A and B are shown apart, each in its own frame.
Chain A
Amino acid sequence: MVPIHHYLLLGAALFTIGVVGVLTRRNIMVILMSIELMMNAVNINLIAFSGRLGHVAGQVFAIFVITVAAAEAAVGLGIVIAMFKNKETMNINEIDLMKW
């Protein structure tokens, strides 16, 4: 049986990769993919604890996260398409409207 900290290290690594992707990549599509990566890292944690504790709630949570991730991907891609129509760019540095 695989010890729990393997799962947790994998999750932490995946999560860190996702965070670094979100913070450093300039392409919005890649950022969205990094967010997916972060959510799946969380899913790994949830599933690992579910198996460890023998409790089904973690798996249910994982299913919910996948569902939310699907919705998030739909909304996020919609926003990206609308943004691209307006700005004709995918570079996050050129989309700097969120300031005074």
Chain B
Amino acid sequence: MNFLDLIWLIPLFPAAGFVINGLFGKRMPKAAVGTIAAGAVLVSFIFAAAAVYQLSQLPEHERSHEVKVYEWINAGPAVTTGGQATRFVVDWGFLLDPLSSVMVLVVTGIGFLIHVYSNGYMWEEDGFYRFFAYLNLFMFSMLTLILGNNYVMMFIGWEGVGLCSYLLIGYYFLKKSAGDAAKKAFVVNRVGDWGLATGILLIFATFGSLDFLKVGEAIKAGVAAGQYHVGQPIFIGIALALFVGACGKSAQIPLYVWLPDAMEGPTPVSALIHAATMVTAGVYMVARSNWIYQLAPQALAVVAVVGVLTALFAASIGLVQNDIKRVLAYSTVSQLGYMFLALGVGAFTAGVFHLMTHAFFKALLFLGSGSVIHAMHHEQDMRKMGALKNKIPVTFWTMAIGTLAIAGTPGLAGFFSKDEILWQAFSSEHGHFLLWLLGAIVAGMTSFYMFRLLFMTFFGESRVDPHTEAHIHESPKVMTVPLMVLAVGSVLAGYIGLPKWLGPNLFEHWLEPVFEPVQAVAAAGEEAAHHSAGLEIGMAAVSVAIAVIGFLIAYTTYAKKSDRAARVSAQFKGLYQALLNKWYVDELYDALWVNRAKDLGRGLWRFDSKIVDGLVNDAAVGTVQSAVGSGWWDRWIVDGVVRFAGGFVKTASWPIRLSETGYTQNYALVMIFGVLLLVGYVLWGTL
């Protein structure tokens, strides 16, 4: 079977699962709902894996397979800003190339594991079918996003995952905080989507097409013909507009605020959507548009700086959080910052590589924290945990592996991808020593907060309340097996992207066709950028040393009996409070935007109630007044004439009325007198 031509089916399996579970799930047994949802993703994964395998069998430069299902939008003729006639045509088409194949495997593979895990985690929850319907809808949207062959398809998926994110954050919709968090995520993402939409419109206006491949070709041809050159304003504009979109979806400064709140959703959702897949859509989108960014080094600098600052900022908040999921949320924001740092220094491969390894270990950590929360009966505060190591051993060991991986322990996945990023941040032509330094500091902070999480949760003395402690239990197999699979992935995923001094970088080689430079880079510059392997090893050693310092501080503070945490937080009270309160960014945004929007709403309401309603009310009052006037006219003038006529007749007839007594016998008496008179008169004449 030629799976390459069947890639359009990959998003449709979860879509079918969504329809079945969404329509009939309520009446189906839970086991059937969970099996359909997970099975649909598994089938997608199998199709994706088969298609990627067949893609890898093709010669290197043919590894780009487009499937156009049908012409979706044909909006007629248009003219580009360059004066070139074109048509606005969008296909319902799919593209499998090295970049989307990495994404599709990550999304379906990790997505499948999380679906399986959810079968255990969500078993007791109300609306089980609803959860899986949303999850499948998310998979459909995400797969459309990464497999679409044009920006409009990507936008559809982009909005779809945003919707699912909203629905799943607000899954416990009876909780106000969950509803608020969902709204926050939705609104903040709209800001980013505005940027993405602007970028897409600019792309069409400039290149006359929205197909990835056609835009790429147009740029390459334009560069070759001397029409386009590096630093052209339009490229900077497009790149920055797209980056605004990426900031929203991938939680970068200043639009990161929704992601920590998104932890209100169920933990598998945090793992799937808010760690492993959806939030990396921004990274994917920037990587996909790399030829635009290559021509806009100024925009790249913005990306790099925003990325590294986000990494630093989020990590600093993560240092002191006490909610196990919030630590991981800030860690995710921080790691996404790393990815953007990599993209920003032009190391697209490194960014995507970190995206992939991060998907493994962050999904693992989130699912592990879910397992802890499950064991603790929905307790998320790490201050109420401790010494869980022997009570839930599988969760502990898998989370320990995840922590080691994210902290950058040599030999595990995180080490390879993070070091690649740090090395590129320093050595790439867009890199800078400061970027490396900040990145390395973040590595130390990452190590600290992750080990802090591990030690607070699993080591030290138990701070669990006795009632809960009696019921702590290891999660069922359906939850622990995905943890183990992800743990294996967190160990091994890094080996496909070894640093140059250690071996061949298969990952970079695989992605090369997608990220090839749009213009021939000056050979000399390329050579100059290659620093010695010794320096690379040395810098890796430095970052590992920083991570070890972070580990040691965490170990001595939280694994051993120590009052250092309390002492230090008391000593730097102001800083501690600022970190604990997330640098007061939410408060700042409230003051800057949220409350201003509310003020605007109130002002409009006042305008409505005073001016608009006022006009209506005034009109009503006027009508009543004129009605009173015309009523008076009617009552006194019109009726007055009539009543005067009646009154006159009544008064004038008063004497006659006296004779009318109503007594029949009076009338009869008068009649008899009349008859007597008549008779008398007649007789008078005859006598």
Contacts and interface: CB of A to CB of B under 8 A. Distances in A.
Interface in A25-56: none
Nearest to A97: B662
Interface string A60-92: 000000000000000000000000000000001
Nearest to B661: A99
Contacts of A19: 672
Contacts of B663: 92-93, 96
Contacts of B667: 98
A96 B661 CA distance: 7
A23 B661 contact: no
A23 B660 contact: no
Interface string B651-681: 0010001001111110111001000000000
B662 A99 contact: yes
Contacts of A95: 664
A19 B679 CA distance: 16
Contact of A92 (B653, B657, B665, B672): B665
Chain B at the A interface: SS class: helix
Given A19-B672, A23-B672, A98 B665 contact: no
How extensive is the interface on chain A, given as a class? Answer: 10 to 19
A92 B664 contact: yes
A22 interface: yes
A32 to B, nearest CB: 12
Contacts of B664: 92, 95, 98
B665 A96 contact: no
How extensive is the interface on chain B, given as a class? Answer: 10 to 19
Contacts of A96: 661-663
Given A92-B663, A92-B664, A93-B663, A100 B657 contact: yes
A59 B398 CA distance: 138
A11 to B, nearest CB: 15
B143 to A, nearest CB: 91
Contacts of B653: 100
B658 to A, nearest CB: 10
A98 B663 CA distance: 7
A23 B669 contact: yes
A99 B665 CA distance: 13
Contacts of A93: 663
A33 to B, nearest CB: 15
Contacts of B657: 99-100
B665 A22 contact: yes
A51 to B, nearest CB: 24
A22 B668 contact: yes
A23 B668 contact: yes
A93 B669 CA distance: 14
A66 B662 CA distance: 30
A23 to B, nearest CB: 5
A19 B672 CA distance: 8
B668 A98 contact: no
B604 to A, nearest CB: 68
A93 B666 CA distance: 10
B534 to A, nearest CB: 128
Contacts of B660: 98-100
Nearest to B650: A100
Nearest to A24: B665
B318 to A, nearest CB: 98
A26 to B, nearest CB: 8
A15 to B, nearest CB: 11
B301 to A, nearest CB: 107
B14 to A, nearest CB: 87
Contacts of B669: 23
A93 B320 CA distance: 107
Nearest to B659: A99
Contacts of A97: 662
B650 to A, nearest CB: 9
Interface string B519-558: 0000000000000000000000000000000000000000
A23 B664 CA distance: 9
Nearest to A28: B664
A96 B657 CA distance: 14
Contacts of A92: 663-665
B660 to A, nearest CB: 4
17 contacts: A19-B672, A22-B665, A22-B668, A23-B668, A23-B669, A24-B665, A92-B663, A95-B664, A96-B661, A96-B663, A98-B662, A98-B664, A98-B667, A99-B660, A99-B661, A99-B662, A100-B653
Interface of A: 19, 22-24, 92-93, 95-100
Given A92-B663, A100-B653, A100-B657, 7 more contacts: A23-B672, A92-B664, A92-B665, A96-B663, A97-B662, A99-B657, A99-B660
Which 7 pairs between the two chains have the least Cβ-Cβ distance?
A96-B662, A99-B662, A99-B660, A98-B662, A23-B669, A23-B665, A100-B660
